[in-house]
Structure 1
């Protein structure tokens, strides 16, 4: 479902390799904690097309702790810490336009962020994240073979809580646009493969940091894949891998050499406790990080109600 600032605790010269400053290290790192991931994370099964007229109401809770900071693949030798508690309200409506199922939707993040240990000087933040508007168009919709292919544009509206004097913010103070394609197919009667890929382009933030600098960012790319095993008709097990790359930032025209290259894993389960209510629980962590904070633990919970 990802801007970022300075931290005095990481500004000592022996800590920062090469020509990077504490600011350039954290530009890419903190936005992950801003309530909206840089890239567009999905859950396995999200690209299943439902019948026109179906509505979904969802509430997410996401907790993550980050205990390491990386620069060019090397750990920065400080006791870094960043914790986030993020909720998301999401509403989806499935309709039919011509021959295609389409699902206009919104996502509204909110939450709490807090720096820990040597990065405690980041402080904390509470508020709303940026409103996200989206709509998937299914170009392939074959429920008889569990095969689906859809394309989703996302627009991130800069409505979230933001203060250029604060090191942590829930909002990013910039427009963003993402385009994602998702594919699902049944490998067997009980095993399903999900694949999604997306690119995010960023508007500029011209009120970045205490000096109101101009922050720009290159496009960010992500590829995600999941396997699901249907234990019972209403219960599945799932595992996934994701790789994000790109997204180098520049401040006032100076490249920050902070491109993203992160690989993460998730495992979890989805359970329909009734035909119209699903509980979803996932655990994940980063496997490798080139620049920025590394997530040690992430817990994602979701409750879905169809009506």
Structure 2
């Protein structure tokens, strides 16, 4: 009985590492859209794995959710419906686990801005946003998983990654209005994702504490409603406490802190951001290579008009695969 249980656990462990970290991509919206990076995204997986996510998100607040600088417009009331498709692929680099991905945001946003004297202006935008490229590599932690036995033995322990993101300024942009889907400037971030495994790494009992300190860097937009927009670097700290409820269902308590990112428009400097937010995430594995994820997040210290105010619901579906795993599954289904 012990051997059968151990074999089942090990087989489940082989399936899950081959897809679980990729399935976590399903919570990932375009980096300019999400208020924080999703839980369990930087768990390493079998080299050569691929994934395609589809994400839909509904956001409201006083800042453009497509803009990672989260510049606050006091008195604004924005509503956005966002969607994203992408592709991610894992590989081995210098015997370390690495990830490369591309994400394409799209959607629509509209809002009313009330200025002094009670005058209200409405603006809207729709179309494709700025595509985002991402690269991540593990620096501290288990070596790259090059085959199924490696995946069966995988436990994150204490893992540290190096992360780099770059958005390409080719999205929809109208220089006659401040509200846009594309940002008309280069931007990106550098981060250091940290995963700390708590307890045994057994499907149904896995617990992690995850941190992601990062710095966002922004280029200049020289055609911002006929003006020049500059934004100072912004620090962001994401935190997640995740736990398996069953072998197929997991949840996460999420927190985020933004600090900095003051915007200057034609020499007039605005206020820096200093915002805290909380969120919840639930992930469910429909099949071994198909996962559904639901999340909600909202800012907390947002009682003043100049504070960042945002809340969002997101629903994601992701399909992940690996040639070795798919071949092994076909052999099991058709042994002869």
Distance of 2:62 and 2:230 partners within structure 1: 27
Distance of 1:87 and 1:265 partners within structure 2: 22
CA 38–62 in structure 1, closer or farther in 2 if over 3 Å, else same:
closer
Distance of 2:234 and 2:156 partners within structure 1: 33
Question: Is it true that 1:127 corresponds to 2:127 in the alignment?
Answer: yes
Aligned to 1:232: 246
CA contact under 8 A between 1:203 and 1:216: conserved in structure 2?
yes
Distance of 1:38 and 1:245 partners within structure 2: 17
Question: Is it true that 1:281 corresponds to 2:277 in the alignment?
Answer: no
Structure with greater proportional strand content = 1
The runs of 5 or more residues in structure 2 that have no matched partner are 1-29, 64-72, 143-153, 322-336
The superposition leaves residues 236-256 of structure 1 with CA deviations (integer Å, 9 ceiling, x where unpaired) of 111111000100111223322
Under a length normalisation based on structure 1, what TM-score does the superposition of the two structures give? 0.79
CA contact under 8 A between 1:108 and 1:130: conserved in structure 2?
yes
Question: Is it true that 1:112 corresponds to 2:112 in the alignment?
Answer: no
Question: Is it true that 1:303 corresponds to 2:317 in the alignment?
Answer: yes
The superposition leaves residues 235-279 of structure 1 with CA deviations (integer Å, 9 ceiling, x where unpaired) of 1111111000100111223322x2111111111201111111111
Among 262, 267, 270, the residue aligned to 2:280: 267
Aligned to 1:196: 212
Aligned to 1:71: none
Distance of 1:65 and 1:281 partners within structure 2: 17
Question: Is it true that 1:216 corresponds to 2:230 in the alignment?
Answer: yes
| 1:153-168 correspondence to structure 2 within 5 Å | 153-168=164-179
Among 37, 46, 51, the residue aligned to 2:46: 51
Question: Is it true that 1:177 corresponds to 2:172 in the alignment?
Answer: no
CA contact under 8 A between 2:187 and 2:217: conserved in structure 1?
yes
Aligned to 1:245: 259
Distance of 1:302 and 1:52 partners within structure 2: 23
Aligned to 1:136: 136
Aligned to 2:83: 87
RMSD: 2.5
Distance of 1:240 and 1:132 partners within structure 2: 23
Shift of 1:91: 0.8
Structure with greater proportional helix content = 2
Distance of 2:113 and 2:197 partners within structure 1: 46
Under a length normalisation based on structure 2, what TM-score does the superposition of the two structures give? 0.73
The superposition leaves residues 121-169 of structure 1 with CA deviations (integer Å, 9 ceiling, x where unpaired) of 2321101111111111111333325443211111111011001102310
The runs of 5 or more residues in structure 1 that have no matched partner are 1-34, 69-74
CA 275–251 in structure 1, closer or farther in 2 if over 3 Å, else same:
same
- 3-state SS of the aligned residue for 2:155? helix
CA contact under 8 A between 1:122 and 1:168: conserved in structure 2?
no
Count of matched residue positions in the alignment of Structure 1 and Structure 2: 263
CA contact under 8 A between 1:39 and 1:220: conserved in structure 2?
no
Shift of 1:110: 0.6
CA contact under 8 A between 2:299 and 2:308: conserved in structure 1?
no
